[in-house]
Structure 1
Amino acid sequence: MWAPEEEMVKEWESEQECMKQRLVLQDTEAWQKEPDFRGLERVGGVDLSFIKGDDHNACAQLVILNYPELQVVYDVSEMVFLTSPYVSGFLAFREVPPLLQLLHTLQREQPELMPQVMFVDGNGLFHYREFGLACHLGVLSDLPCVGVAKNLLQVQGVAKNDEHMSQISAMSKAGDTFPLVTDSGKILGQALRSSDRSTKPVYVSVGHRISLDTAVRLTHSCCRYRVPEPTRQADLRSREYLRRYFPSSS
C-alpha cells in the first residue's frame, strides 16, 4: 500500500491550481454551435483497466469513433506501469500521463485521426477543487473534453439524498436532465438520463473547451446505451485485452 507524502499532495494541489488558470469553459469550435454538430467527424474515448489484484500494471486504451455513425476507426491498447499512488481527488496525476502518451503517439503517426473531442470516464468541473480528470486531460492535450461519470461524486453539498433520488425518478425519458447545484448555488454539472433503457443517470461535466449545455447534448447523442459509446468501447476493449493476454486477471 502506498503512503502518499503530504509534500507530494501539496505539489499536486499547486499544479492543479496552475492548470486551472488555463481552463476554458465555453464552446470554442464551430461544430459545437451546430444543432446536429455538423463538422464533427471524430470522437475519442479513453480508459484504464487494471490487472486484478495489481495496482501498478494497467491497460491504457484509446479509441476513436466516427461521428455520427459511432463506429470505431482506431483503437490502441498499451500495457503501462503506474508509479504515482492513488489519492482521492488527484486521480488524474496517476491516470492522465499514459493516456496523454497514447494521444501524442496518434498525433505523431496518424494526425488525420486525431479526435475533435474526448470523452473521459470520470468528472471534469464536478470535482472537489473543480478540476477533475477530464479537465486535466483537456488542458494538457488542449482538446475539447467531456467528463461523464457513472456514479455521483458527493461534493460541495451535492449528495445522493432523498431529493436527488426524487429528481432521478422524475426523469421519464432519454435526454431528461437536472443540474448538480452546490451549496453556493453554482452548477458544476448535469445528471442526464442517457438512454430509455436505463433509469440510472450519468453525470456530465465540462472538461475543457466546451460549454455544459453542449457537453450534455453531445453526450446524449453519443449514447446507444447508458454510457457514451467512446468510453464504453474503450472500457470493453481494455478489458478484452487483459482477458486475452492476462487471463488470470479476469
Structure 2
Amino acid sequence: MDYKDEEVRKAWELEQIELKKQLVTTNLFDWNLDDGSLKYVAGVDISFVKGNEVDACACLIILTWPELKVVHSSFEMVQLTLPYIPGFLAFREVNFLVKLLDKLKAEKPEIYPQLVFVDGNGYLHPRGFGLACHLGVLTGLPCIGVGKTLMYVDGLEIKGVKQKFKKECLKPGDYSLLVGESSQVWGAVSPIPSTPHHSLSHLHHSPFSPPPSP
C-alpha cells in the first residue's frame, strides 16, 4: 500500500465511523415469518470478469418468499476504479448496488425487497461496519451479510470455527453460532458465515433458521 492508499484508508475509516452511528441493530421491520407478511427478498453481488480487477457485473435478484421464485433480475456492467483495501470493500461496490435497488424501486416498487442478502460481511468486521451494514444504512433496508471469508474478529479463527461447525452441523438446516472471546454472538455459519446488519438484531442470524432464545 503506498501513501495514497493510506490516505484513502484513513478517509474511508472516518466515513465508516460516521455512517456506523446510523446503524440499527434491533429488529425494525414490518414483516413476520409466521403471518405471510414477508413477500420479497433480494440477493445482491458484484462479480469480476475473469482475470480483470476493474470490469465487473453488478446484479440484483428478487425472489418471492417462501416459494423462492425469481420474479426479477437486473444486471449492469460496471468498472470498479477505486482501490481495493481490505476492510473497505463497500467503497468499491456499494454505490452500484444502491443504484440497482433505486432503479427497481422507481420502476417496480411493488416488488421492492423487504430483506436483502449481501455478498459481504455485516458487523463481523474490524470496525463493525462491513458491506451489508453500509448498504443497509444507505438504503434503509434490513440486510444480512453472507461472507465467504471469515474476518478475524474477537478471537474468531477459521480452525476453531470449522471444528465447531463439524461438531454442531450434522444435517441440512443446522447452523453454528459465531461466538467471540467476549461472548458476543457475531453471526452464524451454515456453512458460509452470515452476519446481520441494519434493522436486524445480533440474534436474528437468518430468517430461515433463527437460533433459540438465550
Asked if Structure 1 and Structure 2 have the same fold, meaning a TM-score greater than 0.5 normalized by the shorter chain, the answer is yes
Larger displacement relative to structure 2 (60-69 or 177-186): 177-186
After TM superposition, list the pairs within 5 Å mapping 1:101-180 onto structure 2: 101-161=99-159, 163-170=160-167, 171-180=169-178
1:87-102 matched pairs, under 5 angstroms: 87-102=85-100
Alpha-carbon distance in structure 2 between the residues aligned to 1:183 and 1:214: 20
Cα deviation for residue 3 of structure 1 reads 7.5
In structure 2, do the counterparts of structure 1 residues 85 and 4 end up closer, same or farther at CA, with 3 Å as the change threshold? farther
Greater relative contact order, per chain length (Cα 8 Å cut-off, separation 6+):
1
CA spacing shift, 1:101–1:3, aligned 2, 3 Å = farther
Greater Cα shift, 80-89 or 143-152: 143-152
The answer to which structure has the higher helix fraction is: 1
Residue 186 in structure 1 maps to residue 190 in structure 2: no
Distance 1:124 1:219, change over 3 A: farther
After TM superposition, give the deviation of residue 148 of structure 1 in Å: 1.3
User: Is the Cα–Cα contact under 8 Å of residues 87 and 126 in structure 2 kept in the other structure?
Assistant: yes
User: Which one is further off, 83-92 or 107-116?
Assistant: 107-116
Structure 1 runs, 4 residues or longer, greater than 4 Å off: 1-4
| Aligned positions of 1:3-152 closer than 5 A | 4-32=4-32, 34=33, 36=34, 38-152=36-150
* Distance in 1 (alpha carbons) for counterparts of 2:59 and 2:2: 25
Instruction: Check 1:92–1:219 CA distance in 2 against 1; reply closer, same or farther (3 A cut).
Output: farther
Match of 1:208?
198
Q: Equivalents in 2 of 1:3, 1:77: separation in Å?
A: 35
The 1-side partners of 2:2 and 2:47 are apart by: 19
Moved more, 3-12 or 202-211: 3-12
In 2, the alpha carbon distance for the partners of 1:167 and 1:131 equals 25
Taking only aligned residues, the RMSD between alpha carbons, in angstroms, comes to 2.0
- Fraction of identical pairs, as percent: 45
Could you say what secondary structure the match of 2:41 adopts?
strand
Query: Matched residue pairs, number?
Result: 209
Match of 1:241?
none
Structure-1 separation of matches of 2:90 and 2:106: 23
Distance 2:57 2:158 in 1: 31
- TM-score under structure 1 normalisation? 0.77
**Aligned-partner Cα distance in 2 for 1:6–1:150:** 26
Partner deviation per Cα, 1:205-244 (whole Å, 9 max, x = no partner):
112111233332x1449xxxxxxxxxxxxxxxxxxxxxxx
| Structure 2 gap segments, 5+ residues each | none
Distance of 1:164 and 1:92 partners within structure 2: 25
- For 1:234, the equivalent position in structure 2 comes to none
Select between 203-212 and 42-51 the one with higher mean Cα deviation.
203-212
How far does residue 11 in structure 1 lie from its aligned partner after superposition? 0.9
TM-score relative to the length of structure 2: 0.90
Residue by residue, what CA displacement relative to the aligned partner does 1:4-30 show, whole Å, maximum 9, x if unpaired? 522211110011001111111111123
The alpha-carbon distance between structure 1 residues 164 and 41, as it changes in their structure 2 partners (threshold 3 A), is same
Contact 2:161 2:178 in 1 (8 A): no
